[in-house]
A and B are shown apart, each in its own frame.
Chain A
C-alpha cells in the first residue's frame, strides 16, 4: 500500500494514515470462552466422587492447594496486575486471615469455613489502613514498603503472647473419617477460587477496573482525567487483601496449626507474584494458570529434591527465567502473538 504523494491525492493519504494507526493499535478481537471455566468448575465439583472408588486424597490435596493459590494470586492481581503496584507483603494478609479465624476456632470452636469471609474483611480493613500509608509512593519505594510491612508484622506476631508468639498455636483437628476429611476444605477452596475468578472479572470490566488500569499506565494523567486515584488504589489494595485473607483463614484450619514462620514468610508473597507473572499479570486466567504451573513445579521439586533451600533456589531460578524470557507470562505472551486459545481467554 505504498502511497506515492506524486500521484495520490490527499484523501488517500488520510486513508492510509487511518489504516496505519489501526495497525499500530494492538487489536483484541478474540472472543471469550465463558463455557470453559464453567466446565472446569463442574469437573472439579464432581471430582471427589472418585473417593468412592479408592483413596484420592493426594489428588484432592493438589487441587485444593492449587485453588487456594489461585484465590490468592487472583487477589494479588487486583493491586499488582490491574493497578500495577507490586506488593511483596501480601503474606501479611494471609497471616491476618489465618490468625483471625484460627483464634475464633481455638477459643470458641467456630469453624473457619464460616468465618472466612469475616477474616477476609478484617484483612481488607487492615489492607485499607496500610494502603493509606504505603500507596503514597509508587514503583520501587512501594515494593520496599511492602517488604517492611512484612518484617514489622513478623516481629509483632513473633512477640504477641496471645497468639502463641513464635511457637504459634495449634487448632483442633477435624474428626471426619479420612475419606471425607479433606472434602470441606476442598469445596471451600474450589468455590472460593470460582468466586474470585468471577469477582476479578467483574472488577476488571467495571469502571473501577478501567480506572485502575488507567492509573497503572500514568497516575498523573488518570488523576487529571477525574479518577480519584488515591481512593481507587487503596480500595484495590483492600480488595486484594480480602481474597488473600479469606484463603488464609481456611488454610489455617486445614493445616491445623498457625505459626509465623509458615504464614509470614516472603516465600508466600513471592509465590503470588511469581504465579501472576508466569501466568500473565493483569489477565483473569493468568493467576490461575500460574498457580497450576507453580504448584506442579513445586511438587516435582519437593518430590525429587526435598530440602527447602533447594526449593528457594529453584523458585528464584524459575522466576528469573520467567521474567527474562516470558515477561508477559503465558497468557500475555500468547495474547500478544494473537495465539491465545479461546478456552484461555477469560478476559
Chain B
C-alpha cells in the first residue's frame, strides 16, 4: 500500500513538471495552430541557462527560472518575427509551420551540441538529492519543489487567460482567429505575445527540468513524443487538458516503471499516443478530431 502511495507521489510530482513542459506547447497550438516540434529543444535551452548559472555562479535554478523564461520569451519574439509571421497567409500553413519548427529543432540541437557537446548534464542544487520522509514514504525535494512551482505557474497562466483583457483576446483568437481579427483584435500581435509566452514557459520548464532530469541536446526527440502524447491526450490547445493528461500519464508511467521496468516507463507515453489516436483522436477534452 505504501508502495502504491509512494509511486503515486513520485508520478504526480513529475507530472507537474511535464504539465509545465506541455502547457507552452498547448498554448502555442491553441492560438496559432502551430505544432511546435522545437518546443523541447527550447526547453533544453532554458535548462542550459540555469545549468550554467548554477555551474558558474552557484545560482539556484529556481531563482534563475524567471531569467530563463525571459530570455526564452525574447527568443520567442525573435523566432516569431523571423519565421512564423510571414507564414500567416500561407495556403499550407499547418504543414509549413510544423516543418519549420522541425527544422528549428534541428538547428537548436545542432547549435547546442556544437557549443556544449552531447554529454549528459544535470544541475545539482542540494535539494535535488535530498528528500522528505513521512513515515516510510519518501518525497524527493527536487521533484516536489519542481512540481509545485510548475503548478503555481500554470495556475497563474490560467488566471491570466481567463480574467485579463489580453487573456480574453488570446482565447478569442484561439476559438476563431478570423472573427477575432474582424472584431478589432490585432491577431498578429496577440499571436506574437502568445508565442512569446509559450516559449517563455519552455524556458521556465527548462530551469526545473535541469535538476529533475538529466539532459543533453539530442534528448529532445524523446521529449517531443512524450509532450506530444500529453498534449494530444489533453485535446490539442487546452491548457487544462494538458495538465490533467500530464498528471495521468506520468502516474501511469511511474507505475509501469516500478512494476515492469524503467525502459518501458517512457514507452508508456508513446503507446498512449497510439491508443489515444486509435480510440479518441480528439483527446480527452477536444470536441472534434483535429483535421487540419
Contact = CB atoms under 8 A, between A and B. Distances in A.
Do A and B touch (CB < 8 Å)?
A: yes
B100 A323 contact: yes
A133 B35 CA distance: 20
Interface string A132-172: 01101111110111011111100100010000000000000
Contact of A141 (B90, B266, B281): B281
Contacts of B140: none
Interface string B101-137: 0111111111101100010000000000000000000
A314 interface: yes
Contacts of A277: 99
Given A143-B35, A155-B266, A86 B107 contact: no
Interface stretch (A1-9, A304-312, A338-346): A304-312
A117 B102 CA distance: 32
Nearest to B264: A155
A271 to B, nearest CB: 11
B225 A86 contact: no
Given A147-B224, A320-B83, A309 B263 contact: no
Contacts of B2: none
Contacts of A323: 96, 99-100, 103
Interface of A: 84, 86, 88, 133-134, 136-141, 143-145, 147-152, 155, 159, 219, 266-267, 270, 273, 277, 307-317, 319-320, 323-324, 327
A86 to B, nearest CB: 6
B221 A266 contact: yes
A148 B106 contact: no
B33 to A, nearest CB: 8
A134 B277 contact: yes
Interface stretch (B45-53, B168-176, B267-275): B267-275
B150 interface: no
Interface stretch (B180-188, B198-206, B284-292): B284-292
Contacts of B86: 324
Given A138-B291, A148-B229, A273-B99, 4 more contacts: A148-B270, A267-B106, A316-B110, A323-B99
Contacts of B100: 320, 323-324
A143 B96 contact: no
In the A-B complex, the 4 residue pairs with the closest CB atoms: A313-B110, A316-B106, A139-B292, A309-B113
B236 interface: yes
Given A86-B95, A147-B221, A148-B270, A320 B110 contact: no
B271 A152 contact: yes
B178 interface: no
A143 to B, nearest CB: 5
B95 A139 contact: yes
Contact of A145 (B106, B217, B277): B277
Nearest to B29: A140
B6 interface: no
A317 B107 CA distance: 6
B225 A316 contact: no
A137 B90 CA distance: 22
Nearest to A142: B277
Nearest to A266: B221
A311 B113 CA distance: 11
A88 B221 CA distance: 12
A319 B228 CA distance: 22
12 contacts: A134-B277, A137-B290, A151-B221, A152-B270, A309-B217, A311-B110, A313-B114, A315-B106, A317-B103, A320-B83, A323-B96, A327-B92
B274 A145 contact: yes
A311 B107 CA distance: 9
B68 interface: no
B110 A140 contact: no
A317 B111 CA distance: 11
Contacts of B225: 144, 147-148, 150-151
Given A148-B274, A155-B263, A139 B113 contact: no
Nearest to A220: B291
Contacts of A133: 274, 277-278
A144 B232 contact: yes
A61 to B, nearest CB: 25
B230 to A, nearest CB: 11
A320 B84 CA distance: 11
B98 interface: yes
B92 A320 contact: no
Contact of A319 (B99, B118, B290, B291): B99
Contacts of B278: 133, 136
Which of B37, B103, B228 has most A Cβ within 10 Å?
A: B103
A333 B247 CA distance: 47
A316 B103 contact: yes
A330 to B, nearest CB: 16
Contacts of B90: 327
Contacts of A308: 113
B105 A316 contact: yes
A324 B105 contact: no
Interface string B13-51: 000000000000000010001010100000000000000
A313 B107 contact: yes
